[in-house]
Structure 1
Amino acid sequence: WMTSILPEKGREVRFDIKYNKKYIASYIDLKGYETRPNSVIEHTVQSLLGAKEIELINEYQDNLNIKKLDLIVNFGNLYFIVKPMWYVLDYLYKFTNNFGYSIILLTVLIRLVFFPLNQYSMKSMGRMKKISPQLENLKARFKDDKTQLQKEMLKLYRENGINPAASCLPIIIMIPFFFGIYKLLLIDSAMRHAPFMWIWQDLSAKDPSSLFNLFGLLPFSVPGFLEIGILPVLMGATMHLQMRLSPQPGGGGDMAKMQKQIFMFMPLVLTVILAPFAAGLVLYWCATNVLTIVQQAIINRTIKVKDY
């Protein structure tokens, strides 16, 4: 929401805002106006009040010739990514007339744009998962000879065309876009009271169902902190499946055991953390996880590695 006052261009003005029982704002023109007998002076101060509707703010920016008025919407440091994505999301919303479908389609489009990078990263992860038993075998054979172990591991990677760091670079490139769409869904007022389907009639509110009364099948309500809805549960389940398709930490040391425990509990922790978030945001994470699972599962089925 915004409350803005737009004085005449070229005027020196001052605004005083008092925070007491009520918000009191004073507008003072520092230059003043010179009047003559029987003269009339007109002084216009425009004001914009209401929701931060990006399309409407863009119109004001053009019609009133106010530079950078769109910055009243907090696009953040990723402005150059978030603003173009808003145009795409707005077009999809007008096309589908359903904000939930628009979020899913936008997620699909982003995955398509980064398909080559995703494919490259996931193939590397798929190969790493396929050779995990061979890596474990090498670690057992050369547990007392770290130098030879490194040589044998590099040989295994080379024979199977694996670069252990190959899966990291695409992810680093895509992170700003993941945060960008997350930021976009936080600030876009179009999601307010936007229905999706079934029980999700306001994507800006948290999922209205709860796991602890079997999503409404049991005739009692639960406390707010226990309201973990269908979408958060789906998000956690798909994240767990996604992690199972990825290569797991190997070895038998304490560090490896701790990493495995983190992998095990991360979906559960994120499910609880994201439960109070807007349903539209959780829907985006679910859609991203499902697309990742499908792509990774197909790659894992087609990858072949050499026996060692």
Structure 2
Amino acid sequence: MGSLWQSGSDLLLGVLNFFYGISHSYGVAIILLTILVRVLLYPLSHKQLVSMKKMQQIQPRLKTLQEKYKDDKQKLNQEVMKLYREYGVNPAAGCLPLLVQLPILILLFKVIMNYDFGEEFFLGISLKHSLLSLMSQALGVATAKAGVMTVISGIVSNPAGLLNFGLYGGTLILWLLIGFVTWFQQKITTTGAASEQMAFMGWFMPLFMMFICLSLPGGVLLYWGVSSLIGVVQQVWVQRRTSVEISQKPVLYKDKPRSAEKSKAESEEVSKDV
């Protein structure tokens, strides 16, 4: 397993260096590598999203069945399976693709996390340093490892240091974008009447993600932001398409059936012409 993990890491690292050789920019290389991985994982992620959306669509009918057959578990299971077959839903289809995707995405995360990008900036984003580290530098706080309290104390002692926006501004904007994309993804995932638990996750997950990203290098934030943005676009597209497919009734005839009288009249006209 360790050799397989190392082989995957070496492969991604080779692709990253290949894209750098073409673009001469590590920022562009990270974006291209992220897009490539998302494209390769598209069939799996698409299957996962379609299954998730269909499960959301059948929730009202599923709850009705649970209420109707709450005292008959066997009948409930039979009706639930009929409902799954009617909509072509496989509950396991949403989990299996995710289990395949996660190791690859985690591997890509670790490759970028451990790569030495030097002091390169991309669109104002430092690929090597974290937002906390950059803000500490802007505030003139000398520390080996910056933390939240380091930045807060720096702001209190030297608020004018925040004017050095060029040093941390690009990373700050990307950090805020990741928080917004995470919030938006939670919002479109919990469509309809959300439970209190889902409503809680709707604002907790963005805040939690932003907290984690405070100490991550800018290169990782760039990967995470691009990957999340692609995921949201794909999710919106899949949800709209799946909603249309579910709402449409099956077409039994290519053309509208003709009445018997009309068909007979047309046959008589053809006979006269002949």
Task: Tell me if TM exceeds 0.5.
Answer: yes
Match of 1:305 among 224, 232, 246: 246
Deviations 1:238-280 (A, max 9, x none): 12222333367989xxxx6435523541221111121121111
Where in structure 2 are there 5+ consecutive unaligned residues?
A: 137-150, 153-158, 164-168, 249-274
How far 1:107 sits from its partner (Å)?
0.7
SS in 1 for 2:130: coil
1:205 maps to: 129
Q: Does 1:111 align with 2:35?
A: no
SS in 2 for 1:276: coil
How far 1:103 sits from its partner (Å)?
0.9
Q: How does 1:22-61 map to 2 (within 5 A)?
A: none
> How many residues align structurally?
218
SS in 1 for 2:122: coil
Is the 1:236–1:270 Cα contact (8 Å) retained in structure 2?
A: yes
SS in 2 for 1:245: helix
Q: 1:239 to 1:302 in 2, by over 3 A?
A: same
1:173 maps to: 100
Q: 1:192 to 1:147 in 2, by over 3 A?
A: farther
Amino acid in structure 2 at the alignment position of 1:106 = L
Q: 1:234 to 1:148 in 2, by over 3 A?
A: farther
Deviations 1:150-197 (A, max 9, x none): 4333222110001011011111111111111111112211x2212101
Q: 1:139 to 1:271 in 2, by over 3 A?
A: farther
1:3 maps to: none
Is the 2:190–2:198 Cα contact (8 Å) retained in structure 1?
A: no
More helix by share: 2
Q: Does 1:244 align with 2:187?
A: yes
RCO higher in 1 or 2 (8 Å CA, sep ≥ 6)? 2
TM-score of the aligned structures, taking structure 2 as reference length = 0.68
How far 1:204 sits from its partner (Å)?
0.8
How far 1:126 sits from its partner (Å)?
2.0
Where in structure 1 are there 5+ consecutive unaligned residues?
A: 1-74
Q: 1:77 to 1:219 in 2, by over 3 A?
A: farther
Match of 1:90 among 17, 21, 36: 17
2:135 & 2:240 partners in 1: Cα distance?
36
Amino acid in structure 1 at the alignment position of 2:207 = L
Match of 1:182 among 109, 122, 130: 109
SS in 2 for 1:277: coil
2:70 & 2:96 partners in 1: Cα distance?
30
Is the 1:194–1:203 Cα contact (8 Å) retained in structure 2?
A: yes
Q: Does 1:164 align with 2:91?
A: yes
Q: Does 1:195 align with 2:138?
A: no
Match of 1:289 among 206, 210, 228: 228
2:29 maps to: 102
Matched residues, percent identical? 29
Deviations 1:132-157 (A, max 9, x none): 33334444555565554443332221
Q: 1:86 to 1:171 in 2, by over 3 A?
A: same
How far 1:129 sits from its partner (Å)?
2.5
1:104 & 1:259 partners in 2: Cα distance?
31
2:272 maps to: none
Amino acid in structure 1 at the alignment position of 2:128 = S
2:214 & 2:108 partners in 1: Cα distance?
18
1:279 maps to: 218
Amino acid in structure 1 at the alignment position of 2:13 = W
- The Cα RMSD (Å) is 3.4
Q: 1:141 to 1:261 in 2, by over 3 A?
A: farther
Q: 1:259 to 1:301 in 2, by over 3 A?
A: closer
